[in-house]
Amino acid sequence: MRVPEALHLKLIVTIVDRGKGGRAVDIYRQERLHFEYLCMGMGTASSQILDYFGLAEVEKDVVLTLVPKFKVPSVIAKTNEALNLKKPGRGILFTIPLSGASSHLPKVLCKEDGSLPSTESEETKMEDAIRYDLILVIVNRGSVDTVMDAARAEGARGGTVLHARRVGFEDAENLLGFALQPEKDVVTILTPRAQKQAIMMAINGKAGLATEARGILFSLPVDDMIGLQTPVSPSLTEDPGASGS
């Protein structure tokens, strides 16, 4: 039986300062979304960006949540209201479409509050154009600066790092012909689609498989996004008559 489009699942990714992930989880529980996963991350924004946003630390909470497509607008609205994500520096939330999921998940996520839509007309329409992509770079531990220096050279503003450990790497070593370090960093960079290719090419040149970083890159489409604003250039806000130090 074909699952109605409105019940197709998306992955909501919420990135906020350390300690605030619990507030996002509380919101998702109120919305009867019972599959939340909290990861510890590290922000990679430059000190200039951190100063602009008034951020004192770069430690992050990364909350992964499954949500039916038709509930995305209300969940985003309530999360933004609670966490004020439209204000620079408060965090980022975006959704990634899923191509498949366990068959029972949509029913579990909808049946408790009776929110299952009755017709296709009640489904949320996906935007005509997907404007953002999520770049994921898996590199040897200690290579994050190399990745971010290359990404910033092509306009990336920052990213989030998750620590990981490779398993079953012996087979890959035999195929690739060189040793692989098991300790990995996963660098995630949210970028406008127009910049994605240039950023990925720059990272691959500096931290790809042919380098000491042994980086593997791929990207995912992003549907909905809130919290990623382009900061105004300081030169546009300074008093022309003011002198710098």
Q: Which of 12-26, 67-81, 153-167, 222-236 is predicted least confidently?
A: 222-236
The position carrying tokens 């996002």 is 24
Instruction: Report which of residues 129 and 31 the model is more confident about.
Output: 31
- 198, two tokens: 């240039």
Tokens 């309530």 — which residue?
A: 78
Q: Is the pLDDT of residue 226 over 60?
A: yes
From 24-38, 46-60, 94-108, 119-133, the region with the lowest mean pLDDT: 119-133
pLDDT (average), residues 92-105: 78
Q: Which domains does the chain have, with CATH numbers?
A: 5-122 (3.30.70.120), 132-225 (3.30.70.120)
Residue 94 contacts residue 222 (beta carbons within 8 Å): yes
Query: pTM surpassing 0.75?
Result: no
Integer Cα distance of 175 and 168 in angstroms? 12
Using 50, 70 and 90 to split pLDDT, how confident is the model at 36? Answer: confident
Give pLDDT, residue 187. 93
* Residue 96: partners with Cβ closer than 8 Å, 6 or more residues away: 10, 11, 13, 134, 220, 221, 222, 223
Q: Which of 6, 12, 8, 3 is nearest to 75 (CA)?
A: 12
Asked if residues 71 and 114 have their Cβ atoms less than 8 Å apart, the reply is no
Q: Which residue, among 236, 245, 227, 217, has the nearest Cα to 88 in the 3D structure? A: 227
Residue 196 clears pLDDT 90, i.e. is over it: yes
What are the C-alpha distances in Å from 238 to residues 79, 89, 195, 234, 235?
33, 20, 28, 6, 6
Does 138 or 43 have the greater pLDDT score? Answer: 138
